[in-house]
Amino acid sequence: MSGGKADRLWVKSFAGAAFLMLVIMGALFGSAMTFRYWQAWVYCAVFLGAVLLVTVHFLRKNPELVRRRLSVGPISERRRGQKILQALASALFVGIYVVSGLDRRFGWSRVPVEAALFGDALVVLGFAIVFLVFRENSHASATIEVSAGQRVISTGPYRHVRHPMYAGALLLLAATPLALGSLFSLPLVLPFLCVLVFRLRDEERMLSNELPGYAEYCREVRFRLIPRVY
């Protein structure tokens, strides 16, 4: 990658991270109607720190992976069904932060400090799983597609579940209400999980048809998200 393209990729990557944090912080503090929300500050610091560490690492080691990850969201998906699923997932993602902020504002629930910090630790673990997936699979695009030269990956976290990136993202999101000190936003994780399951099952059908060896891989690795569960 030339110097100019590399520089633009760095700028786009950090601009994307900044936009994501603005959305998260806007949803949190806007609904809470206060900046006196220490759980949100800790969470945002943990989230942003993890995003920057992962982004910088792969900008240096695998910039092509980062480029693929920049095309994200409903608009980037090619098929109508996936556009709908991505729109639902995005709405639920933001909804968790909005409800958490409202919970802080109106005091609907109480979460011990230790539990909130444990939630932050689980968020870090979720990012760590995603990092391992990116390191193992350089074709891990943000949209469902089969790229040139792509092959079936069955090593690393892919030995245990077929969709370890989704597993890491699900853990991260499921831990978010706890980290933000909100029990009322926790139920939103369930519809997010349903959307995720629809997405990955559709992805599996496409990969089985278009990626040689994927159907055999599915027969070898039985579980999709959680070992010995699903």
Nearest Cα residue to 76 out of 141, 148, 151, 164: 141
Q: For 124-160, write each residue's pLDDT tens digit.
A: 999 999 999 999 987 776 666 666 677 888 899 999 9
Per-residue confidence (pLDDT) for residue 5, from 0 to 100? 75
If you ran DSSP here, which 8-state letter would residue 188 be given?
G
Q: Which residues contact 28 (CB under 8 A, 6 or more apart)?
A: 37, 40, 44, 97, 98, 100, 101, 180
| Domains of the chain by residue range | 3-139+147-220
Q: Do the Cβ atoms of 100 and 185 come closer than 8 Å?
A: yes
Which alpha helices (H) appear in the chain, and where do they start and end?
A: 3-32, 38-61, 63-70, 80-106, 113-136, 164-179, 189-210, 214-220
CATH 1.10.10.10 assigned to domain 3-139+147-220? The reply is no
Q: Is the dihedral of CA 209, 214, 217, 221 positive or negative?
A: negative
Separation of alpha carbons 28 and 32, rounded Å: 6
**What number is the average pLDDT over the span 60-88?**
81
Indicate the pTM of the whole model.
Answer: 0.91
What secondary structure does DSSP assign to 149-164, as a single string? Answer: T-----SGGGGT-S-H
Q: For 180-206, write each residue's pLDDT tens digit.
A: 999 999 999 999 999 999 999 988 998
